Amino acid sequence: MQILPTRKIEPLALGAILVRKDKKIGSHPFYKQLSKEDAVLLGRFLAKTSFDKESAHTVFLPSGNRLLLLGVGEKQKFDLRKSILAMRKIVAAAKKDGVKIIEVAAADFTTRGLNDLNAVAETVATQFELANYEHVTYKTAPPDGWNFVETAYVYAERNVGKALERGRIIGVETNAARELSNTPGGEMTPAMLAKAAEAAGKESGVKVAVLDEKEMRKLGMGGVLGVGRGSDEPPRFIVMEYRGAAAKTAPVVLVGKGITFDSGGLNIKPDDHIYEMHMDMSGGAAVIHAIAALARLKVKKNVIGLIPAAENMPSGSSYHPGDVLKTMSGKTIEVMNTDAEGRVVLADGLEYAKKYKPRLVIDVATLTGASMHALGRRASAILATDRKVENRLREAGEKTLDRVWPLPLWEEYEDEVKGTFGDWSNTGKERYGGAITGAVFLWQFIKPWPWVHIDIAPRMTAVEGEHLAKGAAGAPVNLLVHFLERF
Ligand code: BES
Ligand code: ZN
Ligand code: ZN
Residue range 297-301: mean pLDDT, rounded: 98
* Residues 63 and 35 sit within 8 Å (Cβ to Cβ): yes
Assess whether pLDDT exceeds 90 at residue 102. yes
The percentage of residues in the chain with a pLDDT greater than 90, rounded to a whole number, is 98
* Residues 398 and 81 sit within 8 Å (Cβ to Cβ): no
Residue range 34-62: mean pLDDT, rounded: 94
Q: How far apart are CA 284 and CA 296, in angstroms?
A: 19
Q: Is the dihedral angle over the CA atoms 422, 424, 430, 434 positive or is it negative?
A: negative
Q: What residue ranges line ligand 1, CB within 6 angstroms?
A: 262, 280, 337, 339-342, 366, 368-370, 427, 434, 457, 460
Name the residue type at position 211.
L
Assess whether pLDDT exceeds 90 at residue 10. no
Among the listed residues 153, 149, 151, the one whose alpha carbon sits nearest the alpha carbon of residue 133: 149
Among 259, 273, 339, 427, the mutation site with the greatest number of ligand 1 atoms within 8 A of its Cβ is 339
Among the listed residues 179, 250, 164, 289, the one whose alpha carbon sits nearest the alpha carbon of residue 449: 250
* Residues 310 and 224 sit within 8 Å (Cβ to Cβ): yes
> Can you give the pLDDT at residue 158?
93
Specify the 3-state DSSP secondary structure of 380: strand
pLDDT band for position 8 (50/70/90)? Answer: confident
Q: Give the other-Cβ count within 10 Å of 135's Cβ.
A: 16
Longest CA pairwise span in the chain (Å): 82
Angstrom CA distances, 337 to 280, 313, 439, stand at: 17, 13, 16
Residue range 191-199: mean pLDDT, rounded: 99
Q: How far apart are CA 360 and CA 451, in angstroms?
A: 6
Angstrom CA distances, 335 to 309, 342, 446, stand at: 18, 12, 19
For residue 429, the CA-to-ligand 2 centroid distance in Å is: 17
For residue 338, the CA-to-ligand 2 centroid distance in Å is: 7
Closest atom, ligand 1, to C-alpha of 259 = 1
- 36 burial level (CB within 10 Å; 0-12, 13-18, 19+): exposed
Name the residue type at position 296.
R
Instruction: Determine whether 89 is an active site residue.
Output: no
Give 330-365 pLDDT, tens digit per residue: 999 999 999 999 999 999 999 999 999 999 999 999
Name the residue type at position 364.
V
Q: How far apart are CA 174 and CA 129, in angstroms?
A: 9
Assess whether pLDDT exceeds 90 at residue 97. yes
* DSSP state letters, 89-139: HHHHHHHHTT--EEEEEGGGG-BTTB-SHHHHHHHHHHHHHHHH----TTS
Phi, psi for 309 (deg, rounded to 5): -115, 130
Cis peptide before 235 (omega within 30 of 0): no
pLDDT band for position 11 (50/70/90)? Answer: confident
Torsion of CA 203, 207, 212, 216, to 10 degrees: -150
- 411 burial level (CB within 10 Å; 0-12, 13-18, 19+): exposed
Instruction: Determine whether 269 is an active site residue.
Output: yes
Q: How far apart are CA 103 and CA 65, in angstroms?
A: 12
Among 269, 276, 343, 368, the mutation site with the greatest number of ligand 1 atoms within 8 A of its Cβ is 368
For residue 206, the CA-to-ligand 3 centroid distance in Å is: 27
Q: Give the other-Cβ count within 10 Å of 111's Cβ.
A: 18
As a whole number, the mean pLDDT across the chain is 97
Candidate list 88, 229, 296, 343, residue with the active-site label:
343
Count Cβ neighbours within 10 Å for each residue of 73-101 and write b for 16 or more, e otherwise: beeeebebebbbbbbbbbbbbbbeeebbb
Q: How far apart are CA 172 and CA 160, in angstroms?
A: 18
DSSP state at residue 278 = G
Residue range 137-164: mean pLDDT, rounded: 97
Q: How far apart are CA 262 and CA 185, in angstroms?
A: 9
The answer to pTM > 0.95 is yes
pLDDT band for position 9 (50/70/90)? Answer: confident
> Can you give the pLDDT at residue 77?
93
- For 120-188, where are the E strands, in sequence order? 151-155
Q: Which chain residues have CB less than 5 Å from ligand 3, an ion?
A: 259, 262, 280, 342
